């Protein structure tokens, strides 16, 4: 969509994940990773992708060139300093772009001017240097316009600049042909009210501002990047810069997903629209975090914990009516539906536990729930977070208690070992209701196989062993081993568990346990 200065309700999203976002060691990406992210940003629906800073390295040049050639929907932008060579290289890197934009600019605060332009070739006094900066800005924009009619000018460190000088620079940049003017709070120094007032001043006092879109670009050094961006939007900015997950220099940039969800969730307040398909947020955030740095579980909008509840009062309220404790629906930001909304801890309460058991497919009566809840509390006290696997184990143990012991292991012995000895086993089982135990012997591929063949012989039931797992539950030479087996007969599957310091015995217990469960279920 072409950006329109007269569309006051539309906020354009300018993504700089691939440029400002990767401007730090831990977030470096290669050209392949950048193109993957660019594809996803297109699906997400950003208006502008800042693909890189082409003169900064051959890898960056290549990434901008590749993205410009492939990605057609969003505007593809490259960054430059107000230096002719930067602009020429950027123009070349963008030559295949359907909608190219050159983003050029220069530092405008006194700190930047005296620090970066201290050399006398820029002037001997601050005023002379300021004049030089304006000339450099004007010629940079003019040169960029020779490559594209979409030129964005950034007034670096605007957040700390002398306001009247900033206004003059912006006016000159627009006169020179800038179609977007970017007001960066480069050092994250601004306070929302003050930053909003700055944008309002730009809007009201720059005479030719009607010819350009105002953009805001906020850093997060004081944790106010999103608040400053929103304040800028409230005061007339039509473009918001940011990165996915807020990655970037120092404390990062404004996270796009948070800006977008703030505008969407508080549409009643901002009355603004973006072109973002919010259902793609989760996927985009995970892609970027997989390639760069992990997301904190508590990060707004995209963190793992951002849409979860755990305390009893919240879980209860949420289950009765989602909106009680949620202002966003996790599916609106693309969280998979099967992602649990409840973290089970000792504070979760019966309602939350019952809900999760139901989601896992267990039907429990009120009395049963009370019993399960007490066991759940025991685990929660020792483990903090109770997983689905823990709940399944509780439920299986309960089922196991109800299973009648049709067969009971009375004796087992097996031998095997060296090459020439055929593994054999002797097993004695007691069958419920029968006076005499049944004893038999058989051989197999190993001692455990021999035990299982012998048991099959006694029961007359042909069992297929579909899973066998052994693990140590205690440490040391006399460690207790736990065996879990899965057996199948005529399409019915059952699991059994057995433990002993002797692995042959543990294996036999597990097999007989699974056999009893199988008989109970058919």
In this structure, how many other beta carbons lie within 10 angstroms of the beta carbon of residue 128? 12
- Residue 415: which residues within 8 A CB-CB, separation 6 or more? 421, 423, 424, 425, 447
Question: Regarding beta strands 492-500 and 12-15, do their DSSP bridges make them parallel or antiparallel, or are they unpaired?
Answer: unpaired
Per the structure block, which two tokens stand in for 183? 């007001």
Binding at 143: pick from ligand KIV, Zn ion, none (beta carbon under 5-8 Å per type): none
The interface region with ligand KIV, picked from 91-99, 181-189, 318-326, 449-457 by CB under 6 A, is 181-189
Among positions 154, 165, 376, 452, the unique one binding ligand KIV when judged by CB under 6 A: 154
- Rounded to the nearest whole angstrom, what is the least distance from the CB of residue 294 to Zn ion in the complex? 22
- Rounded to the nearest whole angstrom, what is the least distance from the CB of residue 146 to ligand KIV in the complex? 21
Residue of this chain nearest to Zn ion (CB atom): 20
Binding at 156: pick from ligand KIV, Zn ion, none (beta carbon under 5-8 Å per type): ligand KIV
- Of residues 77 and 353, the one with the C-beta less far from ligand KIV: 77
Site residues (vs Zn ion, CB under 5 A): 20
Restricting to residues 5-44, which ones interact with ligand KIV according to CB under 6 A?
A: 20
Binding at 109: pick from ligand KIV, Zn ion, none (beta carbon under 5-8 Å per type): none
Q: Residue written as tokens 């290549």?
A: 62
CA distances from 73 to 38, 42, 69, 103, 371 (A): 11, 7, 11, 18, 58
- Please tell me whether residue 228 binds ligand KIV under the rule CB under 6 A: no
Contact characters 63-102, ligand KIV, x per CB under 6 A: ----------------x-----------------------
- Of residues 216 and 463, the one with the C-beta less far from ligand KIV: 216
- Rounded to the nearest whole angstrom, what is the least distance from the CB of residue 12 to Zn ion in the complex? 17
- Of residues 138 and 463, the one with the C-beta less far from ligand KIV: 138
Question: Regarding beta strands 151-156 and 180-185, do their DSSP bridges make them parallel or antiparallel, or are they unpaired?
Answer: parallel
Residues 254 and 225: their CA atoms lie apart, in Å, by 5
- DSSP output for 342-377: B---TTSHHHHHHHHHHHTT----HHHHHHHHHHHH
Enumerate the β-bridge partners of residue 100. 76
Enumerate the β-bridge partners of residue 424. 415, 443
Residue of 1, 3, 2, 33 whose CA lies nearest to 18: 33
- DSSP output for 58-76: HHHHHHHHHHHHH--SSEE
- Of residues 195 and 511, the one with the C-beta less far from Zn ion: 195
- Rounded to the nearest whole angstrom, what is the least distance from the CB of residue 205 to Zn ion in the complex? 24
- Of residues 19 and 34, the one with the C-beta less far from ligand KIV: 19
- Rounded to the nearest whole angstrom, what is the least distance from the CB of residue 393 to ligand KIV in the complex? 52
Residues 411 and 134: their CA atoms lie apart, in Å, by 95
- Of residues 154 and 376, the one with the C-beta less far from ligand KIV: 154
Binding at 13: pick from ligand KIV, Zn ion, none (beta carbon under 5-8 Å per type): none
Among positions 156, 258, 280, 456, the unique one binding ligand KIV when judged by CB under 6 A: 156
Exposure b/e, 451-479, CB count within 10 A at least 16 = b? bbbbbbebbeeebeeeeeeeeeeeeeeee
Contact between residue 169 and residue 134 where contact means Cβ atoms under 8 Å apart: yes
- Rounded to the nearest whole angstrom, what is the least distance from the CB of residue 471 to Zn ion in the complex? 51
DSSP 224: -
Residue of 202, 209, 210, 211 whose CA lies nearest to 183: 202
- Of residues 91 and 252, the one with the C-beta less far from Zn ion: 252
- Of residues 20 and 280, the one with the C-beta less far from Zn ion: 20
- Please tell me whether residue 50 binds ligand KIV under the rule CB under 6 A: no
Which H/E stretch holds residue 425? strand 424-431
The interface region with ligand KIV, picked from 5-13, 180-188, 442-450, 514-522 by CB under 6 A, is 180-188
Euclidean distance between the first and final Cα of the chain, in Å?
Answer: 63
Binding at 154: pick from ligand KIV, Zn ion, none (beta carbon under 5-8 Å per type): ligand KIV
- Rounded to the nearest whole angstrom, what is the least distance from the CB of residue 246 to ligand KIV in the complex? 13
- Please tell me whether residue 182 binds ligand KIV under the rule CB under 6 A: yes
- Rounded to the nearest whole angstrom, what is the least distance from the CB of residue 268 to ligand KIV in the complex? 31
Question: How is the beta sheet containing 407-415 ordered, strand by strand?
Answer: 407-415, 424-431, 438-443
Restricting to residues 203-222, which ones interact with ligand KIV according to CB under 6 A?
A: 217, 219
- Of residues 179 and 516, the one with the C-beta less far from ligand KIV: 179
- Rounded to the nearest whole angstrom, what is the least distance from the CB of residue 79 to ligand KIV in the complex? 6
- Rounded to the nearest whole angstrom, what is the least distance from the CB of residue 236 to ligand KIV in the complex? 19
Per the structure block, which two tokens stand in for 36? 């993957």
- In the complex, the residues that contact ligand KIV under the rule CB under 6 A are 20, 79, 154, 156, 182, 184, 186, 217, 219
């Amino acid at each position: 969509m072409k950006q329109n200065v007269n569309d006051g309700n539309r906020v354009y999203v300018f993504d700089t994940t691939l440029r400002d976002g990767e401007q730090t060691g831990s977030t470096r990406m290669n050209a392949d990773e950048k193109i993957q992210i660019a594809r996803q940003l297109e699906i997400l629906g950003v208006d502008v992708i800042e693909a890189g800073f082409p003169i900064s390295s051959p890898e960056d040049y290549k990434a901008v060139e590749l993205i410009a050639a492939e990605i057609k929907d969003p505007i593809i932008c490259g960054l430059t300093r107000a230096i002719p060579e930067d602009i020429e290289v950027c123009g070349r890197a963008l030559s295949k772009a359907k909608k190219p934009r050159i983003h050029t600019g220069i530092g405008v605060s006194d700190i930047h001017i005296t620090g970066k332009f201290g050399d006398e070739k820029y002037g001997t006094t601050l005023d002379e240097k300021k004049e030089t900066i304006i000339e450099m800005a004007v010629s940079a924009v003019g040169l960029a316009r020779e490559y594209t009619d979409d030129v964005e000018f950034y007034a670096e460190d605007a957040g700390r600049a002398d306001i009247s000088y900033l206004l003059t620079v912006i006016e000159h940049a627009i006169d020179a042909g800038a179609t977007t003017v970017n007001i960066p709070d480069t050092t994250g120094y601004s306070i929302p009210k003050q930053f909003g007032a700055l944008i309002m001043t730009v809007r009201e006092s720059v005479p030719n501002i009607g010819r350009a879109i105002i953009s805001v670009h906020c850093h997060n050094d004081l944790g106010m990047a999103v608040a400053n961006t929103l304040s800028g939007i409230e005061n007339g900015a039509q473009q918001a810069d940011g990165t996915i997950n807020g990655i970037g220099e120092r404390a990062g940039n404004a996270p796009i997903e948070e800006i977008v969800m703030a505008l969407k969730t508080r549409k009643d307040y901002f009355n603004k629209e973006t072109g973002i398909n919010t259902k793609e947020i989760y996927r985009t955030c995970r892609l970027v975090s997989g390639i760069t740095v992990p997301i904190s579980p508590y990060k707004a909008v995209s963190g793992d914990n951002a849409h979860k509840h755990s305390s009893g009062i919240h879980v209860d309220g949420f289950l009765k009516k989602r909106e009680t404790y949620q202002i966003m629906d996790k599916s609106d930001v693309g969280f998979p539906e099967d992602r649990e909304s409840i973290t089970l801890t000792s504070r979760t309460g019966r309602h939350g536990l019952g809900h999760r058991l139901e989601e896992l497919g267990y039907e429990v009566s009120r009395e049963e729930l009370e019993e399960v809840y007490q066991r759940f509390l025991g685990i929660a006290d020792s483990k903090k977070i109770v997983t689905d696997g823990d709940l399944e184990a509780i439920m299986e143990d309960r089922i196991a208690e109800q299973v009648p012991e049709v067969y009971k292991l009375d004796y087992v012995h097996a031998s095997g070992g060296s090459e020439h000895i055929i593994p054999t086993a002797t097993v004695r089982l007691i069958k419920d209701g029968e006076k005499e135990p049944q004893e038999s012997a058989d051989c197999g591929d190993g001692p455990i196989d021999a035990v299982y063949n012998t048991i099959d012989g006694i029961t007359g039931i042909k069992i297929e062993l579909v899973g066998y797992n052994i693990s140590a539950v205690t440490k040391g030479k006399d460690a207790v081993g736990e065996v879990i087996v899965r057996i199948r007969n005529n399409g019915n599957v059952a699991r059994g568990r057995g433990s002993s310091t002797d692995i042959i015995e543990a294996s036999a217990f597990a097999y007989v346990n699974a056999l009893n469960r199988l008989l109970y279920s058919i």
